[in-house]
Structure 1
């Protein structure tokens, strides 16, 4: 049996993600430059939190698009990798764990930036100042270890492969010849840790958002903060919410398909490939939104690209004159 479409092939997956990483790296580095050297004094309190979020967002992009390049045979939790780590013979079990940790650390970095806002605005005056460091340390440690149950219970590969190929339709010979790795036969070992991690971080994020806006409303009524300060903080929080929410909404598309695929036992390899391409684009969207939504970075982009466009325009006009 041959692949029905080029979109189904490992070659398409590798090519698409390689092209993406070539686009992503310069944009990510420009984002790092803006955060480090163009963050104004008024945003100094969130500078390192934004850098932390950006680094882990960039890390997930690199993990998917360069280091691993997953080729997943979903709805089976099985597949193989085509990235740099495979070229260096890094076991696929380690690669799967790395991707899970990168996703966890990215989610924790979102909670961290919200916690930082709450602490800067209100928490320094409350009991939270004594709890924040243990809270943050717990989150980062949990992100590093939450996937360990799935890793510990990786199945015997020989029998697991037979089960995977039994549940999937007939596949191209190239897939049968590939070093397919089975992450799990029993989904509980994967779903339960991911469910606990995601729900914990969503609950934490929601709590901080409620606390921030609740305290703002209370301070506004008491007039303990000026209207200008409240207005600026609300504007900045809206920018942070957009910066984190839009990429997460983008991730919901592939995640929604993967859940549907599992429930109805649907196997479309081209859709699987496109899901991981969208996941690999997450950080790129996040960086572009960050550069656009925050006014200081937007001004840097205008200056840099306006100068470039003017330079190109002058060059073309000189060429036209010579001709």
Structure 2
């Protein structure tokens, strides 16, 4: 990661970035934060107080997904508020993390949180899918009450993003002058953002390529797992829908609506200058 000393004139390749543009992003993400908060509160009320006894342990898996999703939203809309200078590999911090004086630490904190929360969100969804799989297949689900299993799930949430974090540390061990040189030579029209806290990677370096590839692969893997797992569980569960009570079906509809609101309002989590 390098500092934000990328200086040259703006051109049509990049949108003009000034204080008004930045304040507009901050305002929009602040609105998103409050929408996230109210949607999450609604989801919590539905899951904790409106869920029937038939939901059993599953409601805690749903609660786990909602909480991690909200923490991710808080990071993107309040703490980090990233501004991407795509196609340049540069990200600027517009959130409260820009109050961290040391630029290197500021970039590390926000990227660490982003990767860790992405890993935790993926782990939460996978664990919920596994519970549903055991449930629809008629396998014992009381194993989720064992302390060893609970501890294993907690560790899974914490270490899920560890490979990407290790690669991030490896990719960050680059010469700052080399990164600045790479960005300014490859993207000569990148705007001068000396007044913002920005970080960048030299994606021509092997370490940065490994980091980007691993992150993209992990995201793609979880997309495939979630999609395929959801379809499989739905197919297995379809024959049981007629036996479900109307209260359970109503609860699931309300929970899905809350999550849809959470996802849809985050239309542009990484505002771009392109």
TM-score normalised by L of structure 1 = 0.61
Q: Is the 8 A contact 1:76 1:164 kept in 2?
A: yes
Q: Which residue of 1 aligns with 2:167?
A: 149
Q: Which residue of 1 aligns with 2:209?
A: 188
Distance 1:249 1:67, change over 3 A: closer
1:12 deviation in Å?
A: 2.3
Query: How big is each residue's C-alpha offset from its partner over 1:74-130, in whole Å with a ceiling of 9 and x where there is no partner?
Result: 22222221212221445212211211221222122222221111122326359x989
Query: How big is each residue's C-alpha offset from its partner over 1:192-216, in whole Å with a ceiling of 9 and x where there is no partner?
Result: 2223323443444355446535655
Q: 2:177 aligns with which of 148, 158, 161?
A: 158
Measured in 1, the distance between the counterparts of 2:252 and 2:50 equals 20
Measured in 2, the distance between the counterparts of 1:87 and 1:179 equals 9
* 98-107 or 4-13, larger mean C-alpha shift: 4-13
Unaligned stretches of 5+ residues in structure 1: 221-225, 259-267, 272-323
Distance 1:50 1:79, change over 3 A: same
Q: Which protein is bigger by CA-based radius of gyration?
A: 1
Q: Which structure carries more relative contact order (alpha carbon 8 Å, separation 6+)?
A: 2
Q: 1:20 aligns with which of 25, 32, 55?
A: 32
Correspondence list, 1:241-256, <5 A: none
Q: Is the 8 A contact 1:78 1:180 kept in 2?
A: yes
Query: Which structure has greater helix proportion?
Result: 1
1:70 deviation in Å?
A: 0.9
Q: Which residue of 2 aligns with 1:197?
A: 218
Correspondence list, 1:281-300, <5 A: none
Measured in 1, the distance between the counterparts of 2:78 and 2:107 equals 14
Report SS of the residue matched to 1:181: strand
Q: Is the 8 A contact 1:21 1:66 kept in 2?
A: yes
Distance 1:6 1:142, change over 3 A: same
Measured in 1, the distance between the counterparts of 2:202 and 2:264 equals 26
Q: Which residue of 2 aligns with 1:66?
A: 78
Correspondence list, 1:1-323, <5 A: 1=9, 4=16, 9-89=21-101, 90-122=105-137, 124-125=139-140, 136=153, 139-147=156-164, 148-154=166-172, 155-173=174-192, 175-185=193-203, 186=205, 187-206=208-227, 208-209=229-230, 212-213=233-234, 215-216=236-237, 228-229=242-243, 269-271=272-274
Query: How big is each residue's C-alpha offset from its partner over 1:114-172, in whole Å with a ceiling of 9 and x where there is no partner?
Result: 1111122326359x989977984674244230312123221322220221122224244
**What's the C-alpha RMSD, in Å, of the aligned pairs?**
4.2
Report SS of the residue matched to 2:161: helix
TM-score normalised by L of structure 2 = 0.70
Q: Is the 8 A contact 1:78 1:184 kept in 2?
A: no
Report SS of the residue matched to 2:182: helix
Measured in 1, the distance between the counterparts of 2:216 and 2:85 equals 21
* 93-102 or 206-215, larger mean C-alpha shift: 206-215
Measured in 2, the distance between the counterparts of 1:111 and 1:244 equals 19
Q: Is the 8 A contact 1:64 1:70 kept in 2?
A: yes
Q: Is the 8 A contact 2:171 2:211 kept in 1?
A: no
Query: How big is each residue's C-alpha offset from its partner over 1:44-63, in whole Å with a ceiling of 9 and x where there is no partner?
Result: 33211111111111111100
